[in-house]
Structure 1
Amino acid sequence: MKNIFHSIYHQLALSTFVLLFSAVSVVAQSTKVKGTVTDTRTKEPLPYVTVVFAGSTQGVSTDAQGKFSISTTGNFTQIKVSFVGYKTALKTVEPGKEQTINIMLTEDTHMLNEVVLKGNKKTKYRNKGNPAVELIRKVIAHKDQNRVESYDYTEYRQYERMNFYLSNLSEKFKNKRIFKNYQFLFQQQDSAAIGGKNLLPIYMEEKLSDNYYRKVPFAKKQVIEANKQVKYDENFVDNQGLSVYFNRMYQDIDIYDNNISILSNQLLSPIADHAPDFYKFFITDTLKDQSPQLIELSFTPRNTNDLLFEGKLYVTMDGNYAVENARLTANKNINLNFVRQLQATLEFEKNPDGKYHLSQSDLKMDFGLNKNKGGGIYGERKVILNNFVVNTPQPKQTYDGPEQVIASNSENKDDQYWKVRRPDTLAIAQASIYKNMDSLQTIPSFKRTMNLVTLFVAGYKNFGPFEMGPVNTFYSFNPVEGFRARLGGRTTTALSKRYYFETYGAYGTKDQRAKYFLSSTYSLNNKSIYSFPQNYVRASFQHDTKIPGQELQFVQEDNFLLSFKRGENDMWLYNNIFRLDYVHEFSSHFSYNVGLKKWDQSPAGALYFKDLVKNRLTNVNLVQTTELSFELRYAPHEKFYQGKLYRIPIIDRYPIFTLRYNQGIKNLLGGDYNYQNITGNITKRFYLSQLGFTDVSAEGSYIFGKLPFPLMDIHHANQTYSLQLQSYNLMNFQEFVSDHYASINIDHNFNGFLFNKLPLIKKLKLREMIDFKGLWGGVRSQNNPANDPSLLRFPINGQGVPTTYTLNNGPYMEGSVGIGNIFKLIRIDLVKRFSYLDHPDAPEWGIRTLVKFDF
């Protein structure tokens, strides 16, 4: 560079230029100040204190430990430190240098005197007459006009990036032999930042999309132009499901909504309609040099254990009362599991009409089993909106179709594409994460670790094109089979994405009979059968035992833990079931299923099928049916994680509708009965803000035709000691049958709303639940064996006492109260049965346990 200047200027001119440049560069150099703000008297750190360069709007807030870090390229010589209840402090800084300045704030006795009564007792915080509450009520009153939805049309470009790291890693962990040649994987940052000093990136995803909104008729559409994601071996991880799960945890934050979804929980917004009932508000600063002028409004929960934020809002004083900036954090006492720190920053830009729209959001969370120390996981989701256009309608076809459309080549964009279109610059460690994760997966020790995790968590041992499992079914026991050994497995996508085979073999030492299962699936859309949307044909045959009336969700029937059951449990079936199914899902989350089922069932154990022939009871050893089925299902916006065994739904507020029709056909493949069965089900979660959430499931069914009790609806009972939310936990197996019924299941989780307010108890972070199940039904006279001798008799036990009944004498009802979040994993319910207590072995009370991972 110097040679160029020598060729143009004389030496004197060059010397003068260098002197001038040096003087300017001192001013232009970055000034960085960091430090800790504490209370002069108590020496305790002060969180959420405002630190700004005096004479500017460039500022930050201290974190939960009172630490701050602020930088500028401007020529500022002071920082101003302010907090409600304290005297504002001014500290001199040296421009162009990095420096550490610790500040001690002194209580403002004049301000404190305003809230001190006689006897030196502080008054309670009150909403009445509080200017901060009056201001927040104005913000609430202007919410509708400040929402993006107030426009008839909007469109914008959206970039979002999600990163996950192993966080707070010790130097000892970092220097383990496994990472000797892979130190480049680690990322270092300020130890005071969220996540700690040492981070190990494990996941990153980027999306670039165009978004369109129309008020009338309502339409909201996202067109994803580009998508880039760290990919793991599909034998270990469902990459698509992982993306869905992370996006569910880190949802968009709309501060104008009454509730903000975080980690599948809903936290009350500080500008919710009833926010003043749950938050305390304080005016902590006025930024007069802003245009428009801003009021800094600090807020904190009235109860620090509740699902509430704390932080600051910057409100415009131009008559719009809009939020120009928001900083949201969570108190360390909040009833959120595993969350060490939470921090969300929202920035809004002004539109030409004076309203504001969200321009950037940044949500950071650090998780750990121990909230104070040890390694954990740190995640961040950053969203940037630009090219914001209002009230410019697009052609009708722009808004038509599904809410989300993914371009066919969205995953094929190269690095140059992202470099040009990415609206911010990636850190070096972030830019290399895709390549680094590919390298990590080639390390033999990493592969061994993933194999062990898959074995213990999912229950499968991978052998490339084939995997063996699940291990929790290798051994179980029951009264009919005695000790039951089982071994099975299935193919993986390493063999084929289109063809999929599954099998197992089992043997009971008591009945000395072999059981087996075989299935073959063919994907019709050139995707794995696990990929959404599914489109496949499956044929299967099963020769095995079954408990009538047992219906399990997300667990195998011969899971070892389910071997432990209460009461008599010796009425079983031997089944031969051939199935042929065609499943077709659509991107709109509508699906249908067409099936053929040939079912031969024989009684086993203490169960007998008997009919009355010539006034004599005769054993019937086989009941044969052949039925066609058709099922419609609509689950709008459904998200799920595809595990090794089940597709596990990520529950949201949207309802799920299911309608099934079954047609039994006599003389088709040996079927003995003609009948029709129609069943409808609606399931939905209702979020009730600070009162928690309620899961409701309503179902109804009607069977047309004459048929024996094994073909009626045998209601789902549970004789294990586990709590099953979709079964009747104090009903005995095969206790009730119906040819028509209606049911409702209600499970409400208060999310700690009550326990959070009890001294001492609130420290345990427990959560309270209530549950109710009601079942109305009956058997029409034509299907009651008491009226028709040709029908199979209802079963009786060894003492000749009936064990199967109808619901003609009223509904079956049970309810429970539970305590959840015990050790962050366990829910224990005390269950009471309210009706049909005169039945043999009918328990009135019971204790049931559920192990469930929740945030």
Structure 2
Amino acid sequence: MKYILLSIAYFLLIQNTFSSGIRGVVYDDEGQPLPYTTIYVEELGTGTSANQEAYYELNLPPGDYTFQYKFVGYETVIRKVTIGTTFLQLDIYMEKQTLLLDEVVTSAKSTDPANWMMRKAIAKSSYHRQLIDAYSGRVYVKGKGRVNSVPFYLRSMLKKEGIDTSTLIITESVSEISYKRPNQFSEKVISVYASKKNDFNASPMRFISGSFYQDEIASSISPLSSKAFQYYTFKHLGAFVDGDHLINKIKVTPKVKAPNVFEGVIQLVEDDWALYNVDVKTQIDMGIEVRIRQVYQNVNQKAWMPISYQFDVDGKIMGVGFEFKYLASVADYEITLNPALPHKIKLIDKDDPVTTKPEKEVAQSVKQLQKTKSTSEPAIVKAADLRDLMKDYQKTQADSLSKLDIVGVYNYKIDSSAYSQDSMFWHHVRPIPLSDNEIRGYAKIDSLNIVNEEKNQKDSLKNANQFSFQPLDIISGGRYTFGKEKDWKFIIYNAFFSTQYNTVEGLNVDYSIGLRKNFEMKLDSAQKIDYDYQLIKKPFILLKPTFRYAVARNNVIGKVLGKYQFQKGSVSLAGGRYVSQFNDMPAITPLINTSFTLMWEQNFMKLYEKDFVQFRFENNFSHKWRISGNVEYEERHRLFNNTEFTFIDWERGLTPNLPINADPIKEFDGQEAFTADFKVTYKPHIKFVINNGRRIAITDESPVFSLAYFKGFKGLAGSDVDFDRLEFEFRDSYEIGAKGTTYFSARTGAFLNNKSLGFMDFAHFPGNRAFITQIDPVQSYRLLDYYLYSTDSYYVQTFLYHQFRKFLITQIPATRFMGLKESFFTNYLLTSQSKNYVELGYSLDGILRFFRIEVVTNYENFRYQSTGFRVGISTTLGGNVSVEINNEE
């Protein structure tokens, strides 16, 4: 009885606190509910939506208001009402739109009118972006979803996290957003409700902060992109009248149905050529499908802005299927227009059936365009010219951001009290009412969260006094912080993953421990925007001894690394007795070699032992310039096979521990070598985005140039080697519209002096013999022996890799939406012995989203040699650039 009385008292309190506004249900002309109808309040610049039961409710102070009710396919309903001191009940009935067809918009020419309409809209997209100088508003986002399928091998693990197919995930948030031209977006989250605190990470704000007037939105090509006609065909479906505006419906169809392109319908406002409505779908990363619906409104007669959104998201990752639905509405718009541009522009097009003014009255320059800003008459511009005029205008508007090559600024903050707002707050700010099943779902989730929170508190108290070290950490590894400032760390590295097998050492294991001291960052104002991203790193010192035990040799060797990481680079000193591959890039990873030696009787790895001292350094002067270098003294010793153990005897025989080369390898046992190398890398076209004050470089849009010099010092510290080598490298990628993306890499070099050197000093190439690989798909050979054409003379290597949007198998749309991608590649090597070595290959990528299968043929002097098959990691996971493996930290 007590709980019933409290509930009644709470309900009465809410009713008395928020006692005026409007509520009702939206129906079609047959009396059926129209869920998610958009409702716009003209006087407030506020948009909202009805819920899934078509019920809406707005808390409003007394006054006169104009409401617009919008639903795709139905006539807009406008109601002028007076709100008193109580709630006004207003149910709305909407009638279906009547489309006007060819008699209104038919072109005098045979082309579909959608083509000239889209040319105008695309030409004006940059203008629409530049017209808004700034805006602010408040965004409400409500999301709910669930995991709808879980593979058996993940069920127990996910259940421990409280996730199964019966779990309803709910999020609500209210954010204050602001935008400033050219591309500065800020979001402050003032309130969050989430069934799990990290569920809020699934917010669709990257779509809300983006714009269909940009070339891309969330990595998908916009129908209003400057290159839209390369990706889409357009069809005019008709038009309808909404108030004083004629609205054109245009169907958007991708030329190649594939991920990262849109399909659906957009609606354009005639003359303004602004978006009125968007209803499209696309597939983004990892096969996630997204349907986006936006409703636009001419806010305060200034500009057409989105006022409501719907997002339907579903997909499957690693067998876990999920579905989410988000609703979002924007309220309290405040818009400032760009005073430098005319607020009205009339476009003319070569296929436009409408009679236009004489050519002499058409704006021909930026200056003439700017002169019209103070007149009431619209500027008249050719659609073909407006894009160029806007490019010129943007060049004249160079600001502090563009001078720093910054393409966007994004600030995101969650208020400290965001998770602690009570039910009264949510009742007041929630513009989209909860449906009955959402109310029941919230009650269930809140009760479960209370139980889980109590359990977590008990667990934390139980474990508060337990020491974190466990005996298993000796093998599995662990990190232990200590010191007054908690700035010291003792590290035990995982020994299990460092256990390998080869024919020289047999079973071997690296056991490493480390002692690390972190230092405070001391950044000036210019450095702060780079902190923690690619360039500026947190300083530390590290001491790391490593011991290596080889069973077949029954010996222990080791090395010690000392490293100092400063803000823009590092220096390190290492020394000891250790084993190394002749090509320590490495030629083959230990894991792949272990598998092929034990399972297929193929011992690809070739090792030598060295007593060494090595000094390394690198310095990132900027994101564009980087230098690195290495100075090393080695005493080199030859090693031999000590075991022939394999799981399966294929009767092919294991090979000696010496690389195979076109020329005989000279004896090097006991050779002393003092060597050095120095490399300069330059990326000329780096752009940046700033996220919460931190600068992130967009590195994949710039070509890469590097110049390296390698030197062997004869006689220095008893060194036996004497050589000089110079090497130049170039890498870049090119997007060829709807045809796909081409990646190109070239490396060329020569020995200026090769009087004396060991085989490990030769120029080596990224070969491969294993049919299961971890190689970089863009910069590696598939069938080339690891050392066959290693050279002490000149060399040229090139790689060309083109990934198609549609080729053979991917002609079938279903295969593209499965994530499959096809590629063709050709690799070339020229040395004094290679005889114009060429590889031609075909790759099917994204199999099960994780794997890549390739078929390759190789040729010498244009004569066929062999064919091979390779299985690797999908480029969507492994990327198209080399990954440097660094386990020093």
Normalising by the smaller structure, the TM-score range is 0.5 to 0.7
Q: Which amino acid aligns with 1:317?
A: E
Q: Aligned to 1:732, which of 760, 782, 785?
A: 785
Find the aligned partners of 1:550 and 1:774 in 2 and give their Cα distance.
22
TM-score scaled by structure 2? 0.59
Give the corresponding residue for 1:538: 572
Give the corresponding residue for 1:783: none
Q: Output aligned runs, 1:708-787, within 5 Å.
A: 708=757, 709-723=759-773, 724=775, 725=777, 726-738=779-791, 739-751=793-805, 754-758=808-812, 761=815, 764-778=818-832
The alpha-carbon distance between structure 1 residues 717 and 81, as it changes in their structure 2 partners (threshold 3 A), is closer
Give the corresponding residue for 1:281: 235
Alignment gaps of 5+ in structure 1: 1-21, 115-126, 181-185, 214-221, 231-236, 238-242, 418-424, 430-435, 526-533, 641-647, 779-805
The alpha-carbon distance between structure 1 residues 61 and 553, as it changes in their structure 2 partners (threshold 3 A), is farther
**Cα deviation digits, residues 566-597 of structure 1 (max 9, x gap):** 75636432234432223222454422224322
- Give how far 1:170 is off: 9.1
Give the corresponding residue for 1:548: 582
Find the aligned partners of 2:204 and 2:688 in 1 and give their Cα distance.
10
**Cα deviation digits, residues 611-653 of structure 1 (max 9, x gap):** 9xxxx9984413333233332223454899xxxxxxx998733
Give the corresponding residue for 1:341: 290
Find the aligned partners of 1:388 and 1:81 in 2 and give their Cα distance.
28
Q: Does 1:262 align with 2:227?
A: no
Give the corresponding residue for 1:665: 713
Give the corresponding residue for 2:842: 817
- Give how far 1:557 is off: 6.7
Contact 1:133/1:276, CA 8 A, preserved across alignment: no
Q: Aligned to 2:679, which of 631, 634, 652?
A: 631
Q: Which amino acid aligns with 1:721?
A: F
TM-score scaled by structure 1? 0.62
Find the aligned partners of 1:824 and 1:46 in 2 and give their Cα distance.
38
Q: Which amino acid aligns with 1:569?
A: F
The alpha-carbon distance between structure 1 residues 755 and 177, as it changes in their structure 2 partners (threshold 3 A), is closer
Give the corresponding residue for 2:510: 486
**Cα deviation digits, residues 8-55 of structure 1 (max 9, x gap):** xxxxxxxxxxxxxx9xx99x6233547899999xxxx999x9877899
Q: Which has the higher helix share?
A: 2
Contact 1:351/1:357, CA 8 A, preserved across alignment: no
Q: Does 1:849 align with 2:798?
A: no
Q: Which amino acid aligns with 1:309?
A: F
Contact 1:37/1:62, CA 8 A, preserved across alignment: no
Q: Which amino acid aligns with 1:499?
A: I
The alpha-carbon distance between structure 1 residues 36 and 665, as it changes in their structure 2 partners (threshold 3 A), is farther
- Give how far 1:667 is off: 2.5
Q: Aligned to 2:851, which of 817, 823, 826?
A: 826
Q: Does 1:168 align with 2:161?
A: no
The alpha-carbon distance between structure 1 residues 483 and 762, as it changes in their structure 2 partners (threshold 3 A), is same
**Cα deviation digits, residues 336-374 of structure 1 (max 9, x gap):** 52414353759698999x9x6989998968465369985
Find the aligned partners of 1:688 and 1:394 in 2 and give their Cα distance.
29
The alpha-carbon distance between structure 1 residues 608 and 136, as it changes in their structure 2 partners (threshold 3 A), is closer
Q: Which amino acid aligns with 2:752?
A: F
Q: Output aligned runs, 1:93-132, within 5 Å.
A: 129-132=111-114
Q: Which amino acid aligns with 1:536?
A: S
- Give how far 1:281 is off: 3.4
Find the aligned partners of 2:589 and 2:137 in 1 and give their Cα distance.
39
Contact 2:633/2:674, CA 8 A, preserved across alignment: yes
Q: Which amino acid aligns with 1:541?
A: G
Q: What secondary structure is seen at the aligned counterpart in 1 of 2:639?
A: strand
Give the corresponding residue for 1:585: 620
Q: What secondary structure is seen at the aligned counterpart in 2 of 1:834?
A: strand
Find the aligned partners of 2:678 and 2:140 in 1 and give their Cα distance.
40
Q: Does 1:403 align with 2:437?
A: no
Give the corresponding residue for 1:30: 22
The alpha-carbon distance between structure 1 residues 592 and 609, as it changes in their structure 2 partners (threshold 3 A), is closer
**Cα deviation digits, residues 192-212 of structure 1 (max 9, x gap):** xxx9952479x9999989766
The alpha-carbon distance between structure 1 residues 659 and 210, as it changes in their structure 2 partners (threshold 3 A), is farther
Identity of aligned residues (%): 13
The alpha-carbon distance between structure 1 residues 747 and 102, as it changes in their structure 2 partners (threshold 3 A), is farther
Q: Which amino acid aligns with 1:630?
A: F
Find the aligned partners of 2:588 and 2:37 in 1 and give their Cα distance.
49
Q: Which amino acid aligns with 1:341?
A: V
Q: What secondary structure is seen at the aligned counterpart in 1 of 2:119?
A: helix
Contact 2:573/2:614, CA 8 A, preserved across alignment: yes
Give the corresponding residue for 1:369: 316
CA-based RMSD of the aligned residues comes to 6.6
Find the aligned partners of 1:510 and 1:200 in 2 and give their Cα distance.
58
The alpha-carbon distance between structure 1 residues 340 and 33, as it changes in their structure 2 partners (threshold 3 A), is farther
Q: What secondary structure is seen at the aligned counterpart in 1 of 2:718?
A: coil
Q: Which amino acid aligns with 1:580?
A: F
Q: What secondary structure is seen at the aligned counterpart in 1 of 2:830?
A: strand
Q: What secondary structure is seen at the aligned counterpart in 1 of 2:838?
A: strand
The alpha-carbon distance between structure 1 residues 249 and 546, as it changes in their structure 2 partners (threshold 3 A), is farther
Give the corresponding residue for 2:526: none
Q: Aligned to 1:308, which of 248, 261, 281?
A: 261
Find the aligned partners of 1:110 and 1:223 in 2 and give their Cα distance.
39
Q: Which amino acid aligns with 2:721?
A: Y
The alpha-carbon distance between structure 1 residues 593 and 289, as it changes in their structure 2 partners (threshold 3 A), is same
The alpha-carbon distance between structure 1 residues 279 and 100, as it changes in their structure 2 partners (threshold 3 A), is farther
- Give how far 1:736 is off: 0.7
Q: What secondary structure is seen at the aligned counterpart in 1 of 2:701?
A: coil
Q: Which amino acid aligns with 2:708?
A: R
Give the corresponding residue for 1:569: 604
**Cα deviation digits, residues 236-291 of structure 1 (max 9, x gap):** x9xxxxx9x9999879745455x52635xx5353555453863443446535325x
Find the aligned partners of 2:429 and 2:673 in 1 and give their Cα distance.
63
Find the aligned partners of 1:328 and 1:348 in 2 and give their Cα distance.
15
- Give how far 1:817 is off: 0.9
Question: Greater CA deviation, 542-551 or 356-365?
Answer: 356-365
Q: Which amino acid aligns with 1:661?
A: Y
Q: Which amino acid aligns with 2:122?
A: I
Q: How many residues align?
A: 689
The alpha-carbon distance between structure 1 residues 307 and 703, as it changes in their structure 2 partners (threshold 3 A), is same
The alpha-carbon distance between structure 1 residues 386 and 661, as it changes in their structure 2 partners (threshold 3 A), is farther
Alignment gaps of 5+ in structure 2: 1-14, 193-197, 342-395, 419-427, 432-441, 443-449, 482-488, 521-538, 641-655, 690-695, 880-889
Give the corresponding residue for 2:523: none
Find the aligned partners of 1:442 and 1:600 in 2 and give their Cα distance.
59
Q: Output aligned runs, 1:512-523, within 5 Å.
A: 512-523=554-565
Contact 1:597/1:628, CA 8 A, preserved across alignment: yes
- Give how far 1:814 is off: 1.1
Find the aligned partners of 1:312 and 1:655 in 2 and give their Cα distance.
37
Give the corresponding residue for 2:169: 198
Find the aligned partners of 2:22 and 2:177 in 1 and give their Cα distance.
32
